[in-house]
C-alpha cells in the first residue's frame, strides 16, 4: 500500500517525517526493546536534522538509546570521509545529540579496517555488514534519485535481480563514488515500513514516471509494488504534474 503526503514547505516535510518516525518508534517499543531503523544518504540528512534534532518537542520524545541505526547504502570510504553516509548522519544527528547531552543510538557502520584500495575486501565488507543486519527492520528511510534509483539500486542494474544476498557490493555506481554496499530488495521486502522523502522540482519528471500508468521498472517503482507499507513525503514541486491523490500525515 502506497500513501503520499505532500507539503508546501521543507520544514513541514521534516516535521511530518519526524512525527511519522516517532509514531512507528512508539508502536514498536510497546512490544520490542529496540527500534531498528535504516537511513539513506543524500538530502535525507538535513531532513533528519530539521525534524528530529532542531524540533525540541520531537527530540525529547525520541528514545535515542533504544535505536539501532543501519545504512540502506554506504559508500566504501573511511568513516570520516565527506562521502560517507555515516559522516552525514554523524554531523546531522549524532554530534548535535552529544551537544544536547542526549543518549546516542547504536549505529552499525561498515568495518573500516576492511577497506582496501584493491577492492579485494569489498565482498567481505558487505557480508560482515549483512551479519549485523536484523531479519526485519522496523523502518527504512529512502531517497529517490532523479533517475529513479534508491539505496544504491540503479535502473537496469543487475543488482535489481539479487535475491540471495541481503547486502551487495556495487563497483559501478553511476552516482559517485562508484564503490558502495547496498541493501537489496529482499531487505526492503522484509521491512515493516518504508518511507521516501523527495523534494524539489528536479524530482518531478521521475515521480511522473514512477506514478504514471506505464510500467517503468525503476527501483523506486519496484519498492512501491512490494507488499510493505510504503509512504512518500514530498513537496508540491516534486509532485508537479504527477496525477496522484496526496494528503497530510
Ligand atoms: O548514498 C546515497 O547515495 C543515497 O543513499 C541515495 O540512494 C540517495 O538516497 C538518493 O540518491 C537520493 O538522494 P537525494 O535525496 O540527495 O536526491
Distance 30 CA to ligand 1 centre (A): 31
Q: What string of H, E and C letters represents the secondary structure of the chain?
A: CEEEEEECCHHHHHHHHHHHHHHHHHHHHCCCCCEEEEECCCCHHHHHHHHHHCCHHHHHHCCHHHEEEEECEEECCCCCCCCCHHHHHHHHHHHHHHHCCCCCCEECCCCHHHCCCCCCCHHHHHHHHHHHCCCCCCEEEEECCCCCCECCECCCCHHHHCCCCCEEEECCCCCCCCCEEEECHHHHHCCCEEEEEECCHHHHHHHHHHCCCCCCCCHHHHHHCCCCEEEEEEECCCCCCCCCCCECC
* Global pTM value: 0.98
Does pLDDT of 120 surpass 90? no
Q: Are 233 and 244 in contact (CB under 8 A)?
A: no
Testing ligand 1's pocket by substitution, the residue of 42, 82, 179, 199 carrying the most ligand atoms inside 8 A of its CB is: 42
pLDDT of 236? 95
Q: Are 100 and 59 in contact (CB under 8 A)?
A: yes
Summarize the confidence of residues 125-133 as an average pLDDT: 97
pLDDT bin (cut points 50, 70, 90) of residue 117 is confident
pLDDT of residue 96: 98
Query: For the segment 178-230, what is each residue's pLDDT rounded down to a tens digit?
Result: 999 999 999 999 999 999 999 999 999 999 999 999 999 999 999 999 999 99
Q: What is the CATH number of domain 2-224?
A: 3.40.50.1360
Residue 248: the pLDDT is: 96
pLDDT band at 145 (very low <50, low <70, confident <90, very high): very high
Mean local confidence (pLDDT), 132-137:
98
Counting every residue written for the chain, the total comes to 249
pLDDT band for position 94 (50/70/90)?
Answer: very high
Query: Is 90 exceeded by the pLDDT of residue 1?
Result: no
Q: Which atom of ligand 1 is nearest to the CA of 199?
A: 15
pLDDT at 10: 95
CB 42 near ligand 1, within 6 Å: yes
What is the Cα 155 distance to its own chain's centre? 17
Q: Domain boundaries in the chain?
A: 2-224
**Structure confidence at residue 118 (pLDDT):** 82
- Name the grid cell of 99: 551537544
* Residue from 10, 14, 40, 74 to probe ligand 1 pocket by mutation (most atoms less than 8 Å from CB): 40
Q: Which residue has the cell 510493505?
A: 228
Q: What is the pLDDT of residue 195?
A: 98
What rounded mean pLDDT belongs to the chain? 97
Q: How far is the CA of 31 from the centre of ligand 1 (A)?
A: 32
> What are the pLDDT digits (tens) for 10-65?
999 999 999 999 999 999 999 999 999 999 999 999 999 999 999 999 999 999 99
pLDDT for 76 beyond 90: yes
pLDDT exceeding 70 applies to what percent of the chain? 100
Amino acid at each position: 500500500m502506497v500513501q503520499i503526503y505532500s507539503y508546501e514547505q521543507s520544514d513541514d516535510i521534516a516535521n511530518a517525517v519526524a512525527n511519522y518516525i516517532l509514531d512507528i518508534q512508539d508502536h514498536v517499543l510497546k512490544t520490542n526493546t529496540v527500534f531498528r531503523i535504516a537511513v539513506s544518504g543524500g538530502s535525507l540528512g538535513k531532513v533528519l536534522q530539521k525534524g528530529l534534532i532542531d524540533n525540541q518537542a520531537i527530540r525529547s520524545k525520541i528514545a535515542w538509546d533504544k535505536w539501532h541505526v543501519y545504512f540502506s547504502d554506504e559508500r566504501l570510504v573511511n568513516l570520516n570521509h565527506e562521502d560517507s553516509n555515516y559522516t552525514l548522519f554523524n554531523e546531522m544527528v549524532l554530534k548535535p545529540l552529544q551537544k544536547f547531552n542526549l543518549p546516542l543510538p547504536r549505529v552499525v557502520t561498515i568495518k573500516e579496517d576492511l577497506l582496501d584500495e584493491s577492492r579485494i575486501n569489498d565482498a567481505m565488507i558487505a557480508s560482515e555488514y549483512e551479519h549485523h543486519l536484523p531479519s526485519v527492520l522496523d523502518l527504512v528511510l529512502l531517497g529517490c534519485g532523479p533517475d529513479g534509483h534508491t539505496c544504491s539500486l540503479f535502473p537496469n542494474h543487475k543488482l535489481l535481480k539479487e535475491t540471495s544476498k541481503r547486502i551487495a557490493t556495487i563497483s559501478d555506481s553511476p552516482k559517485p563514488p562508484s564503490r558502495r554496499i547496498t541493501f537489496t530488495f529482499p531487505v526492503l521486502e522484509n521491512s515493516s515500513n518504508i518511507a521516501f522523502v523527495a523534494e524539489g522540482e528536479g524530482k518531478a519528471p521521475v515521480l511522473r514516471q514512477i506514478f504514471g500508468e506505464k510500467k517503468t521498472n525503476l527501483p523506486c517503482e519496484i519498492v512501491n509494488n512490494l507488499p510493505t507499507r510504503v509512504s512518500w513525503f514530498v513537496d508540491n514541486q516534486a509532485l508537479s504534474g504527477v496525477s496522484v491523490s496526496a494528503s497530510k500525515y
